[in-house]
Amino acid sequence: MKLRSVRGTHDIYGEDIEKYNIIENKVSKIAELNSFNKLETPIFEFTDLFAKPLGEQSDVVLKEMYSFKDRNEEMLTLRPEYTTPMIRAAITNNLLNELPLKIFGLGPMFRRERPQKGRYRQFNQINFEIFGTNDFMADLELIIIGNEILKSILPNSSFTLNLNTLGHKNNLNEYKIKLSNYFKDKKEKLSDESKEKIQTNPLRILDSKNENDILISNSAPTMQEFISLEEKNHFSEIKKGLDLLKIKYVENNKLVRGLDYYCSTVFEFKTSELGSQDTLLGGGRYDGLIGVLGGPDIPGIGWAAGIERISMLMKLNYNSLCKVHLAITDKKYNSHIQKIMNFLRKNNISFYWNYKYNIKKSLSKANSKKIEYVILIGENEFNNNYYSVRNLNTGKQSQLKESEIIKYLND
């Protein structure tokens, strides 16, 4: 059998793992600054956790979940998204006694989608959630944190914040019925994919990319009349907050979201640099969901961002991935290289050696890596207990005692 990885999965190594680590670090720092605590959940849960809340007729539940029977006949599912496991964890660990609860997490999700650029079957997400408040300040805070994270990781990329409100969940249900009826009359003209959504998820027809669907959607009843004054005020407070901070946004009344549980504020950060898989980060309110899952009837809001998509836009700037390269001419001087390695380790200076007892072979590697200094060890260095240190930027070489090295490397 030919060895291969499963379609839609990918290994993370080299530059990608460096990017992954940078993203994880920045996210953790920003989370800490904003007092969000980390919560990691298992990658599988009981299937029931997802089926109902995500919508039994949603694409994710119908076609994309990796579900399997455990040996004791219980149905399990690899998590396709993070909000429901976060809520499950908050309920089962009694974390909802003190509200609001602000949490974040990071890790792999699984969806059996058609793989393409920016779309995988196992991918990694960053997730931020706030449970227990319907204050517009929570919506604002999450959008600002999302913006902050993207800006700090992608300072040279352009992305656009799209905003919409779907109104209160009860009104949204009325609107969905009206929309269903409208599309039912036009059924014959809709794409096959949209036909399937008339009964189950008519909102998704509004963001179809099919030309006929778009034409029909253009004359569909709009959400506006179903949005209460209270919801309109909530939405305009968010916009005012963004204006105050000069965070640009576009109002996009076609923005719905893939999963059934969303209502009220929804938002997405989109980029024009990635082709069709253009959403970097998406989220919104899910008032009612925590109650549906068996928790108290408290509101919630959150977002998820795709690490792979962020990574694709990221440019690494190699400052000093590995500060020092070691080179030695002969095995006889081994104790000298051991000493300097130990010294560098203790002083937190990154170094690399490839077990070659030949300067030329050692250095051929040094050129392909971003390295600032070479420490050379030969007969003289060994006999007189010093090191020859070459600065690769200037080409200058100096003979230094161990105690002089740190100052030299940091100058």
Minimum distance from CB of 196 to ligand AMP (Å)? 19
Phi, psi of 48 (to 5 degrees): -55, -30
Confirm if 84 and 53 have CB atoms less than 8 A apart. yes
Using alpha carbons, list the distances in angstroms from residue 123 to 12, 55, 144, 394: 11, 21, 24, 43
Rounded CA Rg of the chain:
27
Q: Does residue 113 touch ligand AMP according to CB under 6 A? A: yes
Q: Does residue 300 touch ligand AMP according to CB under 6 A? A: no
Comparing C-alpha atoms, which of 342, 346, 340 is closest to residue 373?
Answer: 340
Q: Does residue 129 touch ligand AMP according to CB under 6 A? A: no
Judged by beta carbon, residue 85 or residue 387, the one nearer ligand AMP is 85
Judged by beta carbon, residue 261 or residue 382, the one nearer ligand AMP is 261
Q: Does residue 279 touch ligand AMP according to CB under 6 A? A: yes
Q: Which of 309, 323, 336, 390 binds ligand AMP (CB under 6 A)?
A: 309
Q: Which of 280, 290, 326, 337 binds ligand AMP (CB under 6 A)?
A: 280
If binding means CB under 6 A, how many residues of this protein chain bind ligand AMP?
Answer: 18
Judged by beta carbon, residue 105 or residue 306, the one nearer ligand AMP is 306
Q: Which of 306, 374, 377, 382 binds ligand AMP (CB under 6 A)?
A: 306
The DSSP element (H or E) to which 391 belongs, if any, is strand 387-391
Q: Does residue 186 touch ligand AMP according to CB under 6 A? A: no
Judged by beta carbon, residue 300 or residue 306, the one nearer ligand AMP is 306
Q: Does residue 10 touch ligand AMP according to CB under 6 A? A: no
Q: Which of 45, 59, 81, 287 binds ligand AMP (CB under 6 A)?
A: 81
Minimum distance from CB of 307 to ligand AMP (Å)? 8
Q: Which of 26, 119, 254, 365 binds ligand AMP (CB under 6 A)?
A: 119
Which two three-digit tokens encode residue 51?
């089926």
Residue 127 makes CB contacts below 8 A (sequence gap 6+) with 82, 83, 86, 104, 105, 106, 302, 303, 304, 305
Minimum distance from CB of 259 to ligand AMP (Å)? 7
CB count in 10 Å sphere of residue 334: 13
Q: Is the peptide bond before 115 cis (omega within 30 degrees of 0)?
A: no
Using alpha carbons, list the distances in angstroms from residue 295 to 87, 249, 264, 332, 337: 8, 34, 20, 69, 61
Q: Does residue 285 touch ligand AMP according to CB under 6 A? A: no
Residues interacting with ligand AMP, by CB under 6 A? 81, 111, 113, 118-120, 123, 125, 258, 279-282, 304-306, 308-309
